[in-house]
Amino acid sequence: MFVDRLLATLVHLRHGTTHDVLACWFGVDRSTITRAINEVRPLLAERGCTISPDVRLRTLAEVVDHLGATGKTGIIDGTEIRVRRPAQGRKDRDKFISGKNKQNAVKSMVVTDGRGRVLFCSPAQPGSWADITHARQLGLAKLLAGGPAVEILADAGYQGLGAQTGGRVVTPPHRKFKKNAPDWYEEMYERQRKAHSSRRIRVEHGIAHLKNWRALARHLGRREHMSDTVQACGASHTTSNLFP
């Protein structure tokens, strides 16, 4: 039954239950569980993030249009998920090494609203990608530059997008003094930085709740499935929050 296949997939994503254990629970072969998860996971990923019973966001363009129509502020940030290291001798083996954590990882860009509700999870990219490169690859700059007037809060990793989007992406202020800064400037800079951080902290809360899905804590399966896994967890997380 499809309900059993769906339940097995959700338990696997939420709790990290192995295929062997699920096979025992459902009284089937391990290969049956593997096949069911591989079939259901892409279906969940295609659902998108459910904002209300009649609003479901599947693409970044739909998210931008939704923020413009509702007048809400969006917040973006990148999150990393640890993965297994590629086999020795494999081409582009080092591209999965994160420059921040020095670990093998993939990266996804998460968009939330001002309340921390997840609106979008991007497909996964190698951990070596910079946050701003990932955002440009997703077409965020083009969507904002030619789209509605919305405000997107971001951290220092996205500095440069503000100029490309007509100020729609708001990042922390640039530091004008590298050395020997006056006391008044240090106080003003710290005040501005904390004010910006307090506005965008909600995206960290949204990502933290998303990481409660064990499949995103550390992925031990195939890296090729990570895009579907991230988006399936995002879709399931928003649906479970809407219909507890």
CA distances from 126 to 79, 107, 134, 210, 236 (A): 11, 6, 10, 19, 23
The pLDDT value recorded for residue 21 is 95
Does 151 lie in the same domain as 216? yes
Please check whether residues 2 and 103 belong to one and the same domain: no
pLDDT on residue 243: 54
Same domain, 105 and 190: yes
How many angstroms separate the Cα of 82 from the Cα of each of 113, 128, 228? 25, 12, 15
Write out the residue range of the structural domain in which residue 36 sits.
1-47
Segments in the chain below pLDDT 50: 244
Same domain assignment for residues 80 and 31: no
Q: Does one domain contain both 100 and 214?
A: yes
Question: Which pLDDT belongs to residue 196?
Answer: 92
User: How many structural domains comprise the chain?
Assistant: 2
Q: Are residues 66 and 40 in the same domain?
A: no
Mark whether 95 and 38 lie in a shared domain.
Answer: no
Q: How far apart are CA 134 and CA 91, in angstroms?
A: 21
State residue 170's pLDDT score. Answer: 93
169-170 and 152-153 as β-strands: parallel, antiparallel, unpaired? parallel
**Amino acid 236: pLDDT:** 92
Q: Are residues 60 and 24 in the same domain?
A: no
Are both 67 and 187 inside the same structural domain?
Answer: yes
Q: Which DSSP letter does residue 212 get?
A: T
Distance (Å, rounded) from C-alpha 195 to C-alpha 137? 29
Model's pTM, two decimal places?
0.89
